[in-house]
Amino acid sequence: MSSIKFGTDGWCAQMGRDFTFKNVRIFARAYSEYLKSRYKGDIRIIVNFDTRFLSSRYADEVIKVLSLNKIQSFIPERDTPIPAISFFVSKQMFNGAVNFTGGIKGPIFNGIKILNEKGAPELPSETERIERIIRKSPESFSFKPQYTKTSYVNYINPRNSYLKYIEKIVDFELIRESGLKIIVDNLYGSSRDYLDFILNVNGIDTISIHNFPYSSFGNLIPDCSKESLKELSSIVLKNKADMGLATDISGNRFGIINSKGVYIEQEKILPPLIEYLIKERKMKGGVIKSVSATENIRNVAEHYLRKVHECPVGFKYLADEMDRRKVFIALEGANGGTLHAGGKIRDGILFNLLISEMAAFYGIGLDDIIESFYSRFPKLFKSEIEVRVQNIDLKKIDRVLSGKGIKTEGFNLLKFDHMDGIKIYFDNSWLLIRRSGTEDVFRIYAESNKRKTTTDLIKLGRDLIEKREK
């Protein structure tokens, strides 16, 4: 039972090993008890699933346990992107949602992401309550084979309300009149008939690929990385399209290919998008970003006199702060973000469309937009690596995370920040070392205005925490 552990992005494990029907039922029993202790009266929970192998079957088990606990379950008619679920939760007065998805893990993994009544990922304080209930469950616990109480099971279609929200946010007329030709890669995920559909129905020249469920993902990892979008790149070139758009399996992340078939890093296109939304779309409010995101988010926001807030890594922290701060956008760097007006979860569908709108407005290619932006703002070079825990010197890491005994020869140390691990600021650069909340690794991030400096900072981070070979 202790194998059920919620991290930065929910609970994820290998199917047949830790992610089993038994453990899913144990979770559902604990979640039911948690819900009944938190809410009074009728409790309404959406149970969603992605296109992974067995995801819908796992969802059925949770629905069964919830119904036996007299909790109303609401099931989408088909696998649904999590941004649509988040939006539906927040607008239709649900108490939360359970999403079965392994995120950007391989096909042998699955997982659970819990959303609260705001449609935001549950905070650690709440998932820890569920874990405590699980730990108290008797080792002999087993689920009695009973039928689902159908009076507590309902069916919903979150698609229509979500697409209406998208229609209000995105200027599809501008995109259509620009004559953009777009290729959409659904990566066999739940965004099919969402991103490609809304472009098509608005008369935009669109071709979609990988737009059917395929639980092995065609030997790809559906993560919107450069590697996973090679086929999209080829098809953009073959069809002489203006851009390629992709979302991950759950619709959270976005991926962009320019007209030359070149993959565009998310953190290079996000700062120009922020400028467009502030300057041209006149969106009001500040910006909230994760501590690991590029400083060019701060640079462009502050240039336009917008306040910038920072949070630990994990969209649950960003979502929690969105309602407390007067912000119009929340960004988790390369993992994407959302607008305050929508669901409180990263929305790859929306961000793909906003980037398309930006390209249509400027009337030039994405690479030209990026070049123009970085002629006015500093060009920064960012890198990230991970180090397995078994390669970490545990004596070193405690000192480093506390900020003691850190030697930074060749760098002018300015200050420390302990929001999430330790972030060390230098002249025109920074280094972040933090323990991952989802995997048994430490992550090292660095950014500076020189590629070599960034490389040197990553090496410094490794020297600070890794074991030395004897």
Q: Residue 307: is its pLDDT beyond 60?
A: yes
pLDDT at residue 7, rounded to an integer: 87
Tell me: do 189 and 329 sit in the same domain.
yes
Residue 40 within a domain: yes
The pTM for the full model equals 0.95
Tell me: do 143 and 175 sit in the same domain.
no
Residue 52 within a domain: yes
Task: Out of 259-273, 355-369, 388-402, pick the least confident.
Answer: 388-402
Structure tokens of 338?
Answer: 């959302």
Q: Answer yes or no: are the C-beta atoms of 257 and 244 closer than 8 Å.
A: yes
Tell me: do 149 and 124 sit in the same domain.
yes
Q: Euclidean distance between the first and final Cα of the chain, in Å? A: 39
Q: Answer yes or no: are the C-beta atoms of 79 and 58 closer than 8 Å.
A: no
Q: Where are the alpha helices (DSSP H) in 296-389?
A: 296-303, 315-322, 348-362, 366-374
Tell me: do 145 and 188 sit in the same domain.
no
Task: Report residue 33: phi and psi, to 5°.
Answer: -65, -40
Q: Residue 227: is its pLDDT beyond 70?
A: yes
User: CA 368, 370, 373: angle at the middle one, nearest 5?
Assistant: 110
pLDDT at residue 144, rounded to an integer: 65
Tell me: do 319 and 296 sit in the same domain.
yes
Secondary structure (DSSP) of 126-179: HHHHHHHHHHHS-TT---------GGGEEEE-THHHHHHHHHHHS-HHHHHHHT
| Burial profile 42-77: b = 16 or more Cβ within 10 angstroms, e = fewer | ebbbbbbbbbbebbbebbbbbbbbbbbbebbbbbbe
Tell me: do 301 and 368 sit in the same domain.
yes
What average pLDDT does the chain have? 94
Domain end point (choices 354, 374, 394): 374
Domain end point (choices 91, 124, 157): 157
**pLDDT tens profile 357-371:** 999 999 999 999 999
Query: What is the rounded average pLDDT of the residues 248-268?
Result: 97
| H/E segment holding residue 14 | strand 11-14
Confidence of residue 143 (pLDDT cuts 50, 70, 90): low
The Cα 128–Cα 123 span in angstroms is 9
- Cβ neighbours of residue 409 closer than 8 Å, sequence gap 6 or more: none
Residue 2 within a domain: no
Residue 470 within a domain: no
Which CATH number belongs to the domain containing residue 152 in this structure?
3.40.120.10
**pLDDT tens profile 184-203:** 999 999 999 999 999 999 99
Order the strands of the 327-331 sheet from edge to edge.
308-311, 286-290, 327-331, 337-339
The Cα 299–Cα 392 span in angstroms is 34
**pLDDT tens profile 84-140:** 999 999 999 999 999 999 988 999 999 999 999 999 999 999 999 999 999 988 766
Tell me: do 134 and 266 sit in the same domain.
no
The Cα 79–Cα 199 span in angstroms is 20
Q: Answer yes or no: are the C-beta atoms of 331 and 345 closer than 8 Å.
A: no
Number of domains in the chain: 3
Tell me: do 201 and 270 sit in the same domain.
yes
| H/E segment holding residue 433 | strand 429-435
Q: What single-letter DSSP state applies at residue 15?
A: B
The Cα 111–Cα 272 span in angstroms is 34
Residue 167 within a domain: yes
Domain that holds residue 460: 381-465
Query: What is the rounded average pLDDT of the residues 430-459?
Result: 94
Considering 69-83, 392-406, 431-445, the range whose residues carry the highest mean pLDDT is 69-83
Q: Which amino acid is at 373?
A: F
Query: What is the rounded average pLDDT of the residues 407-433?
Result: 93
Tell me: do 269 and 413 sit in the same domain.
no
The Cα 166–Cα 353 span in angstroms is 9
List the beta strands (DSSP E) in 53-200: 72-76, 96-100, 109-115, 153-156, 181-185
Q: Residue 1: is its pLDDT beyond 50?
A: no
Percent of the chain predicted with pLDDT > 90: 87
Tell me: do 448 and 402 sit in the same domain.
yes
Tell me: do 197 and 284 sit in the same domain.
yes
Tell me: do 345 and 389 sit in the same domain.
no
User: CA 243, 298, 450: angle at the middle one, nearest 5?
Assistant: 75
